[in-house]
Amino acid sequence: MIRFNYPYFSGKELEYIQDAVNRGKISGDGEYSKKCESFFKEKFKFDKALLTTSCTDALEMSSLLCDIKEGDEVIIPSYTFVSSANPFVMRGAEIIFADSRSDHPGIDESSIESLITEKTKAIVPIHYGGVACDMDILLELSQRNNIYIIEDAAQAINSFYKGKPLGGIGDLGTFSFHETKNITSGEGGLLAVNNPDFISRSEILREKGTNRSAFFRGEIDKYGWVDIGSSYLPSDMIAAFLYAQLENLESIQNKRVSLWKQYYGNLVSYNFGNTVTLPFVPEYATNNAHMFYIVLQSLEHRTSLIDFLKKNGISSVFHYQSLHKSEFYKNRHKGPELPNSDRYTDTLLRLPMHCYLSAADVDFICEKIKQWYDKESNRI
Ligand SMILES: *Cc1c(COP(=O)(O)O)cnc(C)c1O
């Protein structure tokens, strides 16, 4: 079976975990946490980079930092993972769901303005598949209406918008190191704090509402309870694992990008017409090869192709179901129809993408898609 995902291992992970253990300090903010945070500051010029236990937790911290509360509205695309929305619902906000673009599953930037009201407190763009949203449009809306931008950059490590690193453009940016992402620590995340007003409070919220971080830097002589907060910092063993991956960021990215280009080159040469649509990357965005997806014509086509690939030993998956139609939110959604989100819900298919995929695997997968197209697609 060609697996859909397989987490990358550099081979140094256990050595670094052992080193963290030998140092006798395995709780948060140890040696490896600092190494990881320095890596992000140097490579992506984030003012403040805080490791978190997950991207979901980084989004919860963002919700707290923006002081989201009942009566606030937050604009989020419907075609995303639940964690883009839940941290704001938990603080009492109403979610205003936006549609996806017709040419890309990311948020339709041109639809946002009509969703803004006096209650809008934040917009949460998702850089789908690591491909940037058109951030200039969002930043302009944010400045004109005094709205925070929280980039859900869970999939967007090492990807850029007009040369700027994703996650470093809005007030806050959140990353995931879940095992399905390009860089992983099993579970894990990062909060990039770009708005200087949030820097000191971000440390406090992450340290259970205490000013412990400032204490350890010697800035104050005792620490105590100063704010609300929770425990959002990962142990140094998680950070040790992560550092072994970050050191190999370039080679991981090169491998993924070469597989992505191979998929694209093979499939484009088959001239599938409208039956199989290939991913689109706008010129202002880079591609970090987080995923390779195709868009089919109907749910029936997608189900048929998944089965066909499975019979040939290939695991392919679909994912998000429009959040505005979820069991949890459908009765609360008062907004417009979101046809593109619903279309991706039914027709988007993700193909295997991980560092242990060979060029021969990609050729084989593409040939099988061609076989399905020739033999099956016109029978449905
Ligand atoms: C993976 C993902 C998350 C959640 O990340 P965790 O680290 O598992 O909490 C949130 N948003 C998007 C868009 C994701 O892809």
CA 152 to chain centre: 6
**73-77, strands of its sheet edge to edge:** 48-52, 189-193, 172-176, 148-152, 120-123, 73-77, 94-98
The answer to whether residues 76 and 97 touch, using CB atoms and an 8 Å cutoff, is: yes
**Which ligand 1 atom sits closest to the C-alpha of 126?**
13
Question: Is the per-residue pLDDT at 178 higher than 90?
Answer: yes
| Element of type H or E holding 64 | helix 55-65
User: Which tens digit of pLDDT belongs to each residue from 118-144?
Assistant: 999 999 999 999 999 999 999 999 999
Nearest to 132 by CA among 98, 109, 99: 109
User: Which tens digit of pLDDT belongs to each residue from 51-102?
Assistant: 999 999 999 999 999 999 999 999 999 999 999 999 999 999 999 999 999 9
**Residue 350, beta-bridge partner list:** 293, 317
Q: How far apart are CA 73 and CA 117, in angstroms?
A: 8
Q: How far apart are CA 57 and CA 191, in angstroms?
A: 9
Q: How high is the pLDDT of residue 9?
A: 97
Question: What are the contacts of 134-142 at 24+ separation with CB within 8 A?
Answer: 134/109, 134/161, 134/282, 134/284, 135/161, 135/162, 135/164, 135/169, 135/170, 136/162, 137/109, 137/110, 137/112, 138/109, 138/112, 138/170, 139/169, 139/170, 141/112, 141/113, 141/116, 142/170
Nearest to 237 by CA among 66, 43, 17, 30: 17
Half-sphere exposure of 306 (CA within 13 A, CB side): 19
Q: How high is the pLDDT of residue 272?
A: 95
Q: How far apart are CA 240 and CA 20, in angstroms?
A: 7
Q: How far apart are CA 51 and CA 175, in angstroms?
A: 9
- Using a 6 Å CB cutoff, which residues line ligand 1? 54-56, 80-81, 83-84, 126, 152, 154-155, 176, 178, 189
Question: Is the per-residue pLDDT at 380 higher than 90?
Answer: no
- State the residue for tokens 């990215």: 253
Q: 270 alpha carbon to ligand 1 midpoint, in Å?
A: 33
- Which of the listed residues 51, 56, 57 should we mutate to test ligand 1's pocket, taking the one with most ligand atoms within 8 A of CB? 56
Q: How high is the pLDDT of residue 377?
A: 87
**Which ligand 1 atom sits closest to the C-alpha of 84?**
11
Nearest to 63 by CA among 129, 135, 178, 152: 152
User: Which tens digit of pLDDT belongs to each residue from 305-323?
Assistant: 999 999 999 999 999 999 9
Q: How far apart are CA 130 and CA 128, in angstroms?
A: 5
Task: Give the DSSP letter string of 86-98.
Answer: HHHHTTTPEEEEE
What does pLDDT average to over the chain? 97
Q: Whose C-alpha lies nearest to ligand 1, atom 2?
A: 154
User: Which tens digit of pLDDT belongs to each residue from 207-263?
Assistant: 999 999 999 899 999 999 999 999 999 999 999 999 999 999 999 999 999 999 999
Q: How high is the pLDDT of residue 379?
A: 83
Q: How far apart are CA 358 and CA 182, in angstroms?
A: 16
**Percent of the chain having pLDDT more than 70?**
100
Q: 319 alpha carbon to ligand 1 midpoint, in Å?
A: 12
Looking at residue 330, what DSSP letter applies? Answer: T
Q: How many CB atoms lie within 10 A of CB 317?
A: 12
**Which ligand 1 atom sits closest to the C-alpha of 83?**
10
The answer to whether residues 153 and 129 touch, using CB atoms and an 8 Å cutoff, is: no
For the chain, the helix, strand and coil percentages under 3-state DSSP, each to the nearest 5: 40, 15, 45
Q: How high is the pLDDT of residue 2?
A: 97
